[in-house]
């Protein structure tokens, strides 16, 4: 991955290149990413530049053995760490090294536009919560004590660093503060509040903004050559800088459609119950089936549904307060939102928002998912009355 292929603001690339040229590149970087950004690609491009045998002032050469190894994420001095768990192929003691081939294929196939939800779907972890665990941290310490294979930089990339297991994180403190010579650590996350402050304080912050609408549209047209330019522009506006969401919209992603349908059923039925509608309108048997389907997907997907619901509640509020144009939603989402016109007031939406946040809290702490979602349904019905 060369800098020229990374979709981030040119000023960020220039900043990193300037630090490298001046010899002031921090040994521990924290890339604060926005959803759907090219943060992982930027980290790979920086590592490739540091290890390139014939770099120019602005980019790696892309042709030397080191660059070719980086292109396949197979450079011996590139160490990738990411959330992992027990899978069909890794029955016990999971760690990043045991799933490295799957992660390489995942990242390259997605052109480095990656998020944890997509990765969890690849893992099929059977209701596990993936983490960067203590075995990964021990692996980092081991490799950091060794010399680089090619006598250049050793690059450690911790993708989704917010998944760094809290009991394991302290093992890295001394290494992040005083790594071996020519070792670079790059932590990437969209949720810095979930990372220990003692970890963050040892890194240099680099904020990666969301993509511009024009960049998203350009990417869509490159990936979908037959797409109309106006359609690409419309999708880019809805995606609001998140290329992963834009891609889902462009491909009519089944997972996205399922979330919209589940939200409409779950919240629509709760509102129908609150207003004492007919049993047919409430349709609780269908709600029970939807809850069962959400629960069966695992905790990360359960959290995803709740986070999606929080976004939809915000859009309901915008619609109901005459700010419909501010909400950036797909046609399918807007159809569902129209069903809630005038049904929920500000106070009710605020209370339901809090209920959903509490549900996220309980899900991420291994609460019984069936009970959490069933209780949430009846609590919403109570608030909406």
Enclosing domain of residue 290: 253-384
Residues 305 and 162 in one domain: no
Residues 323 and 356 in one domain: yes
**51 near 150, Cβ under 8 Å?**
yes
pLDDT at 99: 95
Residues 28 and 153 in one domain: yes
Our count of domains for the chain comes to: 3
pTM value?
0.81
Residues 133 and 174 in one domain: yes
Full 3-state SS string of the chain? CCHHHCCCCHHHHHHHHHHHHCCCCCCEEEEECCCCCCHHHHHHHHHHHHHCCCCCCCCCCCCCHHHHHHHCCCCCCEEEECCECCCCCCCCCCCHHHHHHHHHHHHHHCCCCCCHHHHHHHHCCCCCCCEECHHHHHHHHHHHCCCCCCCCCEEEEEECHHHECCCCHHHHHHHHHCCCCCEEEEEEECCHHHCCHHHHCCCEEEECCCCCHHHHHHHHHHHCCCCCHHHHHHHHHHHCCCHHHHHHHHCCCHHHHHHHHHHHHHHHHHHHHHCCCCHHHHCHHHHHHHHHHHHHCCHHHHHHHHHHHHHHHHHHHHHHCCCHHHCCCCHHHHHHHHCCCCCCCHHHHHHHHHHHHHHHHHHHCCCCHHHHHHHHHHHHHHHHC
3-state secondary structure of 90: coil
| Backbone dihedral angles phi then psi of residue 265, each to the nearest 5 degrees | -70, -50
Residue ending a domain, among 182, 207, 232, is 207
Residues 178 and 231 in one domain: no
pLDDT at 355: 95
Residues 168 and 102 in one domain: yes
CATH of the domain at 10: 3.40.50.300
pLDDT in tens, the chain (385 residues): 999 999 999 999 999 999 999 988 899 999 999 999 999 999 999 999 999 999 999 999 999 999 999 999 999 999 999 999 988 888 889 999 999 999 999 999 999 999 998 898 888 765 678 999 999 999 999 998 888 888 789 999 999 999 998 888 888 999 998 888 889 999 999 999 989 999 999 999 999 999 999 999 999 999 999 998 888 888 888 888 999 989 988 887 667 778 888 999 999 999 888 877 777 788 889 999 999 999 988 888 898 899 889 989 988 888 877 766 666 777 778 888 888 887 888 889 999 999 999 999 998 888 899 999 999 999 999 988 7
Residues 232 and 373 in one domain: no
CATH of the domain at 317: 1.20.272
Residues 182 and 104 in one domain: yes
Residues 264 and 192 in one domain: no
pLDDT at 60: 96
Residues 188 and 217 in one domain: no
Residues 362 and 321 in one domain: yes
Residues 179 and 199 in one domain: yes
């Amino acid at each position: 991955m060369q800098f020229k292929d990374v979709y981030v603001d040119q000023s960020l690339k220039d900043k990193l290149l300037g630090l490298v040229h001046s010899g002031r590149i921090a040994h521990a970087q924290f890339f604060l990413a926005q959803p759907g950004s090219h943060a992982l690609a930027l980290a790979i491009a920086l590592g490739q530049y540091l290890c390139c045998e014939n770099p120019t002032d602005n980019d790696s050469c892309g042709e030397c053995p080191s660059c070719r190894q980086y292109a396949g994420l197979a450079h011996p001095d590139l160490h990738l760490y990411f959330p992992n768990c027990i899978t069909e192929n890794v029955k016990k003691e999971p760690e990043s090294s045991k799933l490295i081939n799957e992660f390489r294929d995942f990242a390259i196939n997605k052109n480095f536009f990656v998020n944890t939800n997509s990765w969890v779907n690849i893992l099929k972890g059977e209701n596990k919560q993936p983490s960067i665990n203590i075995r990964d941290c021990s692996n980092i310490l081991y490799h950091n004590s060794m010399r680089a294979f090619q006598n250049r930089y050793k690059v450690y990339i911790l993708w989704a660093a917010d998944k760094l297991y809290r009991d394991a994180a302290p093992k890295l403190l001394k290494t992040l503060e005083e790594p071996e010579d020519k070792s670079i650590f790059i932590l990437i996350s969209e949720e810095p509040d979930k990372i220990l402050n003692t970890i963050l304080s040892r890194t240099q912050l680099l904020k990666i903004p969301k993509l511009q609408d024009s960049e998203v549209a350009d990417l869509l047209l490159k990936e979908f050559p037959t797409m109309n330019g106006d359609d690409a522009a419309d999708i880019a506006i809805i995606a609001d800088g998140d290329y992963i969401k834009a891609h889902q919209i462009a491909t009519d992603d089944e997972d996205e459609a399922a979330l919209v349908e589940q939200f409409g059923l779950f919240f629509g039925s709760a509102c129908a119950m609150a207003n004492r509608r007919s049993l047919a309108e409430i349709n609780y048997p269908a709600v029970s089936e939807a809850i069962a389907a959400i629960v069966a997907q695992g905790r990360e997907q359960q959290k995803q549904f709740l986070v999606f619901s929080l976004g939809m509640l915000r859009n309901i509020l915008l619609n109901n307060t005459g700010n419909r144009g501010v909400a950036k939603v797909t046609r399918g989402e807007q159809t569902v939102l129209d069903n809630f016109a005038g049904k929920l007031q500000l106070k009710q939406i605020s209370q339901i928002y809090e209920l959903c946040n509490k549900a996220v809290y309980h899900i991420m702490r291994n609460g019984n998912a069936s009970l959490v979602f069933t209780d949430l349904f009846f609590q919403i019905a109570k608030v909406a009355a």
